[in-house]
Each structure stands twice: as structure tokens, then as C-alpha cells.
A = this chain, B = another copy of it.
């Protein structure tokens, strides 16, 4: 009898606490977020945090995973299903503009902004974030290569260079968003960029 859980039940909502921690890390970055701020916004005391998430770094890793699964998902989900590479990039940048400027959410991308100096106290986290940025690059690159194979993009197109160009711009959008650039302006930025598509794909 019972649900199989023995000891004293946890007094806080783990999902909700993790969500709050994620938004705080997203807003302030890993190093600039203190444990006292975390425990305050999560509604628990340090021992509960360490029992549930192992350490500040463990909490960040879970928060980052949650970010990718929930907050950042919409940016990349249409990459493969888009009919053309152009539409894929258009949706990528448009979704980024919207995603980076949602009300009551930290502006910009957590993966770009939460340890941008690449020399924080946890080199593990810095490297993890860098890897995620690199994987995004590879994801877009392979989508563009597919478009070349399908005949959409000319043979001369430098797919790696184009992917790099698009994501460099997207990373810049995170800085702009965090600087207070309006949703309207961010969307216009994305539209302006994609308008130059025909020029961009003929660069070798």
C-alpha cells in the first residue's frame, strides 16, 4: 500500500522551483546568481536545494536542460520541417525575435547570455554552453547542406559559412534583446536579414 515513497514528502513544487531557478540563471548568468537569491526565488532552504539538485552547478544543468526543452524549443522546431532552407532560416530568426522578447521573461537567449565571457568559475558549464552553441551551428549547417542536395541552394553556396553568418546574427540579437531592443525592432531585424537571402546564398 502507498505510492512507494517512504520518507517525509517534499514541501515545494520541484518543477516550479526549477522553473524559477532557470529564469534567475537566465536573467543573471551562472556566476552572478547567488545561492541566497536562488533559495529565495525557489521558496526553499539550502539543504532542500542540495538534496534535490546536488549543487549549484547541478541545478544550473537541470535548469539549462529545462530551458532547451521548454523556453528555447520553439526556435529550432521548424528547422527540418520547413519546405525550404530560406523558410527554415526565416522561421529561425523570426521565432528568435519573438522568443527573445517575451513579456515577463528574461530577454535574449540563455545559452548565449548566461556565461558569455567563457571564463566563469565553472569551466564545465562554460564548455557545455559553448558546445550547445556549436551544436546549433551544426544543426543549421546540415539543414543547409540538405537544401543544396535538394537543389534549392546553388552548388557554390558556402553552407558552413552561411550557417555561421546566420547564427552570428542570431547571437547578436540576444545582445540587442538584452539591451532593451523592442520586439518590433527585433522582428524587423530578422526580416531585414532574411531579405538579403538571395544575395547571401550566392556567396562562395
Contacts and interface: CB of A to CB of B under 8 A. Distances in A.
The listed residue with most B CB atoms (<10 A of its CB), out of A117, A130, A198, is A117
A168 B169 contact: yes
Give chain A's interface residue range (CB within 8 Å of chain B): 35 or more
A116 B113 contact: yes
Contacts of A164: 176, 181, 185, 189
Q: Interface on chain A toward B: helix, strand, loop, or mixed SS?
A: helix
Contacts of A114: 117
Count of chain copies: 2
Interface of A: 27-29, 31-32, 112-114, 116-121, 130, 133-134, 158, 161-162, 164-165, 167-176, 178-181, 185, 188-189, 192-193, 195-200, 203
A162 B189 CA distance: 9
A27 B119 CA distance: 8
